[in-house]
A and B are shown apart, each in its own frame.
Chain A
Amino acid sequence: QQQVKQSPQSLIVQKGGISIINCAYENTAFDYFPWYQQFPGKGPALLIAIRPDVSEKKEGRFTISFNKSAKQFSLHIMDSQPGDSATYFCAAIGVRGSYQLTFGKGTKLSVIP
């Protein structure tokens, strides 16, 4: 039972374009949503995170949009660069008693020059 669904599986974007990755969740107990970036052969690193009491959070070229009623959230990478080429994971956790991060299956982003 997959609690966080992520799409697309892979994404190819031209340099300078906008990369958009979408996630949807079912468990209404989730109330913290981090995004991780992973380069090949490395561990994931936290990119940006959001709580559902805000609809958008921006850090540099990275923006999370959150739609609580639809139980969906998305990552937008503006002005995508070849160095952004990596696998991106959305995740969710319920702060009320759970210590388990539930991950989406990941999106492999390739930014081509």
Chain B
Amino acid sequence: DGGITQSPKYLFRKEGQNVTLSCEQNLNHDAMYWYRQDPGQGLRLIYYSQIVNDFQKGDIAEGYSVSREKKESFPLTVTSAQKNPTAFYLCASNTGGTTDTQYFGPGTRLTVL
């Protein structure tokens, strides 16, 4: 059963805490992406990685960090420096070509209490 999994589905965090969102894919895709979705704002790119051990900032990287130690995994850490972290976070992957379809995971809804 191929696809992208994200966990947890719902996450609650107290202010001042770091939290890590998991993204795993078994599609053998080289590229992985993290997006943030807010109501009425569309999707905005946080970070992306075209290859293991390499990643680039997207449009809204401040307050976030990522790692890419394995091809199938691309965890996102939301740090306490992120001023407004409550959002729906989506992970995606593709083979790496710019016109290759990006396949999205089911998302993680993060709420800061």
Contact = CB atoms under 8 A, between A and B. Distances in A.
Interface string A27-54: 0000010100000011111100101000
Contact of B105 (A32, A43, A104): A43
Interface string B1-44: 00010000000000000000000000000010000000011111
Interface residues of B, number: 23
Interface residues of A, number: 24
Given A42-B107, A44-B104, A105 B42 contact: yes
Interface string B88-104: 00101000001101111
A42 B98 CA distance: 23
Interface in A73-100: 89, 93-95, 98-100
Contacts of A105: 40-42
A101 interface: yes
A46 B102 CA distance: 8
Contacts of B4: 43
A43 B106 contact: yes
A100 B48 contact: yes
Contact of B90 (A43, A95, A99, A104): A43
Contacts of B107: 41-43
A103 interface: yes
A113 B59 CA distance: 40
A87 B21 CA distance: 24
Nearest to B58: A100
